Amino acid sequence: MNQLGGVFVNGRPLPNAVRLRIVELAQLGVRPCDISRQLRVSHGCVSKILARFHETGSILPGAIGGSKPRVTTPKVVACIRELKRRDPGIFAWEIRDRLLSEGVCDKGNVPSVSSISRILRNKVTHGVATAAATATASIQAAQLSRWAPPHHPPPPPLLGAYPHPHSYYLHGYYLQGAAAAAAAQPL
């Protein structure tokens, strides 16, 4: 039971008979607040049904749940890709306007700005981004190589089952490198 005493299941569409009666009363000139009290339906529900009737001419309820139809057809994606290729600095909202002005889409099926941004991230720039990332990584590697530590020779072969923990130093491998570096330093 709702606040007005009506017995309707919350979250479910209003029965078509009640919807039809709302429209009939409105056409007779009864105010929405009076329709609400008379039929024991909330004022918001009356307003919503009347608004839908004025927009579509239907009293039927809208679909509950489900997903919106996909508007990013391959043709639309190709057009977005071409617009971005021609003008890399174009914004998503500009692409949306161009899709409408060039007749690729109409107001009912034009992708949202966020959908266009997602397409630009995922479908258009993927190959470019990968190439750019590879180039950036190689530049960074070249810059870091100047600061790389000196190359150390490989450790000596194991002489026993349990080598001494400091055997690398004891055998002079690192000492040879240190002595060579010290000898190369000017005094």
pLDDT for residue 99: 92
The per-residue pLDDT for range 18-46, each reduced to its tens digit, is 899 999 999 999 999 999 888 888 888 88
Per-residue pLDDT tens over the stretch 108-136: 888 889 999 988 888 544 444 455 555 55
In the predicted structure, residue 182 carries a pLDDT above the cut 70:
no
pLDDT given for residue 125 in this prediction: 47
| Whether the model pTM is above 0.95 | no
> What tens digit of pLDDT does each residue of 48-83 get?
889 888 888 887 776 655 556 665 788 899 999 899
DSSP-assigned states of every residue in the chain: --TTS----TTSPPPHHHHHHHHHHHHTT--HHHHHHHHT--HHHHHHHHHHHHHHS--SPPPPS--PPP---HHHHHHHHHHHHH-TT--HHHHHHHHHHTTSS-TTTPPPHHHHHHHIIIIISHHHHHHHHHHHHHHHHHHHHTTPPPPPPPPPPP-SSS--TTHHHHTTHHHHHHHHHHHHS--
Q: Residue range 155-181: average pLDDT?
A: 54
Architecture (CATH level 2) of domain 78-149: Orthogonal Bundle (1.10)
Which CATH code of 3.90.1200.10, 1.10.3720.10, 3.90.1300.10, 1.10.10.10 fits the domain covering 1-66?
Answer: 1.10.10.10
Domain(s) labelled CATH 1.10.10.10 in the chain stretch across: 1-66, 78-149
